[in-house]
Structure 1
C-alpha cells in the first residue's frame, strides 16, 4: 500500500524538505557577504553620548553641560560635548567650550579635541 504525500506524517515531510534545502545550499557557491548578518554597532546613540560625556569629564575635570552633536560613522561615533570652562556671575556670561570626541563602536576613545570656546550669552550666534 502506498501512502500519498498528504497522508505521510508531518515530521517525515519536514525532514525531506530540510534535506532538499541542504543539498540545494551545498550546490550554491558560498558568498560570505550574504551570509554575514548586518553589522550593528555594539553601542547605540544614547550609550555613545554617555561614553563621550564620561571621557570628556575624565579628561577635563569638568562636568558636561550637554551633547551638541552626534553622528554614527562606519567605524564608530563622532560626538560634540559642551562644558562650562569658566563659571562667572551672572552665569549668562560663563565661558563654554565644545569638545569633539570620536569613539569606536565599543565606546573606546579614539580622538578628543576642543573645537570651540565662547561666552554663553553669545552661543546662539556661533557658526
Structure 2
C-alpha cells in the first residue's frame, strides 16, 4: 500500500509541476506582450510633457492647461500661453493654444485659437 501511495503522490507532484509550468509560460507570454506595446502615459505625465514640448517649440511660457481630453488618437489640450509680458501684469497678452498629442504623449500639432489680455474676461453669457 505504501508503494501505491508514493506512486500516487509522484503523479500528483508531476501534474502540479506541469500546471505551474503552464502558468509560468502564460505569465511570461503576457509580460512579453506588455513589454512590446508602448506604455500609455498617465494624464499628469501627458500634461507636463505637453506644456514642456509646446514651450520648447514656441519659446513661450505655457502657464496652464485649461482643457484636457482623451481622444481616439491620443489627447487634446487647450493650453494658456504667455505671449507678451507687459507692466502692469494685467495688460500682458495671453493666448489659448489647441494642442494635439498621440497616444504616447508626443506633440503632433498645435494652433493658436484665441489671443487676449490677462485682465479681460470672456464675452460668454
Is TM (by shorter chain) over 0.5? Answer: yes
Structure 1: gaps spanning 5 or more residues = 23-35
Name the SS for the 1:49 alignment partner: helix
Equivalent residues in 2 for 1:1-127, closer than 5 Å: 1=1, 2-3=4-5, 8=9, 11-15=13-17, 18=19, 42-123=40-121, 125=122, 127=124
Q: Structure 1's 41 and 121: CA in aligned 2 closer, same or farther, altered over 3 A? A: farther
Q: Structure 1's 40 and 106: CA in aligned 2 closer, same or farther, altered over 3 A? A: closer
**Superimposed CA distance per residue, residues 45-100 of structure 1 (whole angstroms, 9 cap, x where no aligned partner):** 11111221122212221111111111122321112211111212210121110111
Instruction: Name the count of aligned residue pairs.
Output: 109
**In proportion to residue count, which structure has more helix?**
2
Question: Does the CA-based 8 Å contact 1:68-1:81 persist in structure 2?
Answer: yes
Deviation >6 Å, runs of 4+: none
Structure 2: gaps spanning 5 or more residues = 24-32
**Superimposed CA distance per residue, residues 21-41 of structure 1 (whole angstroms, 9 cap, x where no aligned partner):** 89xxxxxxxxxxxxx87x885
**Superimposed CA distance per residue, residues 96-115 of structure 1 (whole angstroms, 9 cap, x where no aligned partner):** 10111111122222121011
TM-score by length of 2: 0.68
Shift of 1:13: 4.5
TM-score by length of 1: 0.67
RMSD: 3.0
